[in-house]
Amino acid sequence: MIGQTISHYKIIEKLGEGGMGVVYKAHDIKLDRLVALKFLPPHLASDEQDRKRFIHEAKAASSLDHPNICNVHEIDETPDGQVFIVMAIYEGAPLNKKIEKGPLKIDEALDVVIQAAEGLQAAHEKGIVHRDIKSSNIMLTDKGRAVIMDFGLAQSRGMSRLTKTGSTIGTVPYMSPEQAKGEKVDHRSDIWSLGTVLYEMVTGQMPFRSEYHEAVVYSIMNESPPPMTGLRSGVPMALEAIVNKCLEKNPGDRYQHADELIVDLRRIRTRSSQQVSTPAPRSRSKSRMVISAGAIIVLALLAFLGRPLFMGEPDKAISLAVLPLENLSAESGQEYFADGITDALITELGQISALRVRSRTSIQRYAKTDKSLPQIAKELNAEMIVEGSVSRSGENARITAKLIRATDDRQIWTKTYEREIGQFLALENEIARDIAREVGIRLTEEARVRTTNQKAVNPKAFDLYLKGVSSGNRSNFVEAVKLDPDFGLAYAKIASGYFYAGLFGTLPAREAFSKMRDAAETALQKDNTLGEAHCFLALAKLHVDLDWVGAEKEFKRAIELNPSLVDTRHFYAHYLMAANRIEESATEMKLTAELDPLSPDMNLCFGWHCLFTNDYKGAIELASKGVKMDSSDGWSEVILGWSYERESRIQEAIVEFRKAVSHWKDGSIPLAGLAHAYAIAGNKKKAREILQQLLEASGRKFIPAYDIAVVYAGLGEDNLTIEWLKKALDERSGFLVYIKCDRRFDSLRSDFRFIEIMDSMNMPG
Rounded CA separation 756/679 (Å): 26
Pairing verdict, β 384-393 and 326-327? parallel
In a domain, 512, yes or no: yes
Residue 622 belongs to a domain: no
Q: Is residue 190 part of a domain?
A: yes
What pLDDT score was predicted for residue 307? 30
| Residues spanned by the domain of 203 | 92-288
Domain contains 165: yes
pLDDT on residue 120: 94
DSSP-derived letter for residue 617 is: H
Contact 280, 238 (CB under 8 A): yes
Residues 590 and 482 in one domain: yes
Residues 6+ apart with CB under 8 A from 753: 722
Would you say 17 and 37 are in contact if contact means Cβ atoms under 8 Å apart?
no
197 in the same domain as 159: yes
**Torsions phi, psi for 196 (to 5 deg):** -65, -45
In order of 16, 113, 156, 350, the CA distances from 56 in angstroms are: 21, 26, 9, 49
By three-state DSSP, how is residue 428 classified? helix
What are the residue ranges in the chain where pLDDT is below 70? 18-20, 41-46, 50, 54, 57-58, 61, 152-170, 270-315, 451-453
Q: What pLDDT, on the 0 to 100 scale, is given for residue 292?
A: 32
Domain membership of residue 240 (yes or no) is yes
125 and 19 part of one domain? no
Closest to 751 measured CA to CA, from 731, 723, 730, 711: 723
Do 112 and 245 lie in one domain? The reply is yes
When the pLDDT of each residue in the chain is averaged and rounded to a whole number, the result is: 86
Task: Give all strands of the β-sheet with 5-6 in edge-to-edge order.
Answer: 5-6, 9-18, 21-28, 33-39, 83-88, 72-77
Please check whether residues 232 and 342 belong to one and the same domain. no
Cα–Cα dist 171/169, whole Å: 7
119 and 154 in one domain?
Answer: yes
- Closest to 382 (Cα-Cα) out of 366, 400, 399: 366
Flag whether 738 is in a domain. Answer: no
| Contact (Cβ atoms closer than 8 angstroms) between residue 44 and residue 24 | no
Distance separating alpha carbons of residues 337 and 472, to the nearest angstrom: 13
CATH number at residue 164: 1.10.510.10
Same domain? 212 vs 272 = yes
Give the DSSP letter of residue 207. S
Whether residues 513 and 589 fall in one domain = yes
Picking from 548, 574, 598, the residue at the C-terminal end of a domain is: 598
* CATH number of the CATH domain containing 45: 3.30.200.20
Phi, psi for 86 (deg, rounded to 5): -105, 120
- In angstroms, the CA 530 to CA 288 distance is 46
> Looking at 255, 288, 321, which one is the last position of a domain?
288
> What does pTM read for this prediction?
0.69
Q: What does the DSSP 8-state code read for residue 110?
A: H
Which residues are bridge partners to 418 per DSSP?
398
51 within 8 A of 40, measured Cβ to Cβ: yes
CA distance 197 to 149: 14
Q: What is the CATH number of the domain that holds 492?
A: 1.25.40.10
In a domain, 491, yes or no: yes
Give the domain CATH number at 371. 3.40.50.10070
The whole-angstrom separation of Cα 411 and Cα 263 is 13
Let me know whether 99 and 238 are in one domain.
yes
**546: which residues sit within 8 A by CB, 6+ positions away?**
737, 760, 761, 762
Domain boundary among 288, 307, 332: 288
Is residue 147 one of the residues assigned to a domain?
A: yes
Indicate if 56 and 99 belong to the same structural domain. Answer: no
Residues 176 and 100 in one domain: yes
What is d(CA 634, CA 639) in angstroms, rounded to the nearest whole number? 9
CA distances from 198 to 244, 253, 658 (A): 11, 18, 60
Task: Please give the tally of structural domains in the chain.
Answer: 4
Round to whole Å and give the CA distance between 650 and 659.
14
Residue 190 CA to residue 212 CA, distance in Å, equals: 23
| Residues classed as catalytic | 132
Spatial distance between the Cα atoms of 86 and 618, rounded to a whole number of angstroms: 70
- DSSP-derived 3-state class of residue 5: strand
DSSP secondary structure letters along 495-520: HHHHHHHHHHTSS-HHHHHHHHHHHH
Per-residue model confidence (pLDDT) at position 169:
56
* Residue 197: partners with Cβ closer than 8 Å, 6 or more residues away: 95, 113, 116, 133, 134, 135, 138, 174
Q: How far apart are CA 439 and CA 313, in angstroms?
A: 10
* Helices 187-203 and 258-271: angle between axes, nearest 10 degrees: 20
Residue 255: closest CA among 263, 245, 264: 245
What lies within 8 Å, CB to CB, of 382 at 6+ separation is: 319, 320, 321, 358, 376, 406
**Amino acid making up residue 335:** E
* CB 474 within 8 Å of CB 497: yes
Do residues 329 and 445 share a domain?
Answer: yes
Helix (H) or strand (E) holding 219, with range, is: helix 213-222
Q: Sheet with 92-94: list strands edge to edge.
A: 92-94, 138-141, 146-148
